[in-house]
């Protein structure tokens, strides 16, 4: 397994006692943790040598694998907690440096070929949604595996509790615009498209109580060049896919399984596009995951090196939205207390 800079940074974070999952949830600033990791890196001659070697690899600046020779706490933790000895599990964890907005998924972005043969990334769009998202979460948990969830901002404000379950289960959360608008449609101005992107991230942040990953998927995989460039300036990574499950138009769960397995067997690897919003997807997943396992496929977990930096004006806008349900679920007695009469 290739040893690259970002992977060593991840190992450094861990040895400093600060896992990436922790700072994604916002308990410590990414800058502080990166500084701690850099100190660890500077203290290790082997790491410095690997850093030099990694510079020859164009992928090294963007994706990093937690090295095989290092402890893999996230992976070890998942395995420890896994009650299913035959689970699909997680093959490896990669950390993405989203600087400049790198694109993933060969349907549209062909520069970053980071998956090895038989590696897949599971992605789920359009949630969070009652029943269907929890069904997907259960199927993933039963197989001790993971995916990226591209949440619709509006849905996040309606069902923040479900989105928090997604994050709490250790999955990566990104955004999929505020209202699932096609940013390429006629009459959509650049400002409106930016509003859709930014308000989406702010809404997901509000629902989670912490900034999500700077991972974005364009609705309907429609990529206006101006918005692709804009995401680059915002250091937000774009996700197309390698293969589309077409689960949203599948008449049965079996159809989804057949579509994905046929395509993944042909391609040999890839980022798989699915929808936790769709009922059939959660129903198809138990079979699909066991078929992937039987076929020798391994799931790659993609995490962000740092959370998205949302813009204050959009954070304020989603907070002000009168339709928002309150995020606090504290009982009245813990909020209001009689202290004198
Ligand atoms: Zn969508």
- Give the Å distance between the CA of 86 and the centre of ligand 1: 32
What are the pLDDT digits (tens) for 27-42? 333 334 333 333 333 3
What are the pLDDT digits (tens) for 229-260? 999 999 999 999 999 999 999 999 999 999 99
Q: Cβ(46)–Cβ(67) under 8 Å?
A: no
Give the per-residue pLDDT at 90. Answer: 97
- Give the Å distance between the CA of 243 and the centre of ligand 1: 14
Q: Which of 64-68, 79-83, 253-257 has the highest mean pLDDT?
A: 253-257
- Give the Å distance between the CA of 180 and the centre of ligand 1: 6
Q: Global pTM?
A: 0.75
Residues sharing a CB contact under 8 Å with residue 229, sequence separation 6 or more, in sequence order: none
Residues of the chain with CATH 3.20.20.370: 80-320
Residue 157 phi, psi (nearest 5): -75, -30
Q: Give me the mean pLDDT over the 264-286 stretch.
A: 98
Give the per-residue pLDDT at 320. Answer: 87
- Give the Å distance between the CA of 84 and the centre of ligand 1: 31
Distance (Å, whole) CA 56 – CA 195: 38
- Give the Å distance between the CA of 315 and the centre of ligand 1: 22
- Give the Å distance between the CA of 151 and the centre of ligand 1: 9
Q: Cβ(235)–Cβ(266) under 8 Å?
A: no
Give the per-residue pLDDT at 21. Answer: 33
- At residue 126's C-alpha, the angle toward residues 120 and 131, to 5°, is 95
How confident is residue 133, by pLDDT bands cut at 50, 70 and 90?
Answer: very high
- Give the Å distance between the CA of 278 and the centre of ligand 1: 10
Q: Is the peptide bond before 128 cis (omega within 30 degrees of 0)?
A: yes
- Give the Å distance between the CA of 244 and the centre of ligand 1: 12
Which residues are within 5 Å of ligand 1 (an ion), measured at CB? Answer: 125-126, 219
Distance (Å, whole) CA 130 – CA 135: 9
- Give the Å distance between the CA of 185 and the centre of ligand 1: 15
164: tokens are: 């928090």
What are the pLDDT digits (tens) for 185-229? 999 999 999 999 999 999 999 999 999 999 999 999 999 999 999
Q: Give me the mean pLDDT over the 56-85 stretch.
A: 58
- Give the Å distance between the CA of 126 and the centre of ligand 1: 5
Q: What CATH architecture applies to the domain 80-320?
A: Alpha-Beta Barrel (3.20)
What are the pLDDT digits (tens) for 146-191? 999 999 999 999 999 999 999 999 999 999 999 999 999 999 999 9
How confident is residue 332, by pLDDT bands cut at 50, 70 and 90?
Answer: confident
């Amino acid at each position: 397994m290739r040893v690259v800079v970002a992977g060593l940074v991840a190992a450094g974070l861990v040895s400093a006692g600060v896992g990436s999952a922790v700072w994604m949830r916002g308990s410590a600033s990414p800058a502080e943790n990166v500084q701690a990791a850099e100190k660890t890196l500077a203290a290790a001659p082997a790491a410095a040598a690997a850093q030099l070697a990694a510079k020859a690899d164009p992928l090294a600046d963007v994706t990093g694998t937690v090295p095989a020779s290092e402890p893999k706490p996230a992976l070890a933790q998942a395995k420890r907690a896994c009650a299913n000895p035959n689970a699909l599990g997680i093959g490896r964890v990669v950390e993405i440096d989203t600087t400049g907005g790198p694109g993933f998924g060969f349907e549209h972005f062909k520069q970053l070929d980071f998956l090895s043969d038989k590696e897949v990334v599971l992605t789920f769009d359009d949630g969070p949604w009652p029943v269907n998202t929890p069904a997907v979460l259960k199927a993933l948990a039963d197989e001790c595996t993971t995916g990226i969830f591209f949440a619709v901002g509006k849905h996040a404000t309606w069902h923040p509790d479900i989105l928090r379950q997604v994050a709490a289960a250790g999955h990566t959360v990104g955004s999929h615009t505020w209202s699932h608008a096609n940013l390429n449609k006629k009459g959509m101005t650049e400002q409106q498209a930016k509003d859709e992107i930014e308000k989406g991230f702010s809404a997901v942040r509000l629902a989670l109580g912490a900034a999500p990953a700077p991972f974005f998927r364009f609705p309907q995989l429609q990529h206006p060049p101006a918005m692709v460039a804009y995401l680059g300036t915002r250091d937000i990574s774009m996700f197309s896919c390698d293969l589309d499950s077409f689960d949203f138009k599948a008449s049965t769960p079996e159809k989804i399984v057949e579509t994905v397995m046929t395509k993944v067997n042909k391609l040999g690897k890839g980022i798989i596009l699915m929808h936790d919003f769709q009922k059939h997807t959660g129903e198809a997943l138990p079979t699909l995951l066991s078929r992937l396992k039987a076929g020798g496929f391994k799931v790659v977990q993609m995490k962000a090196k740092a959370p998205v930096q949302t813009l204050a004006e959009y954070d304020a806008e989603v907070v002000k939205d009168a339709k928002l349900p309150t995020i606090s679920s504290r009982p009245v007695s813990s909020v209001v207390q009689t202290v004198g009469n």
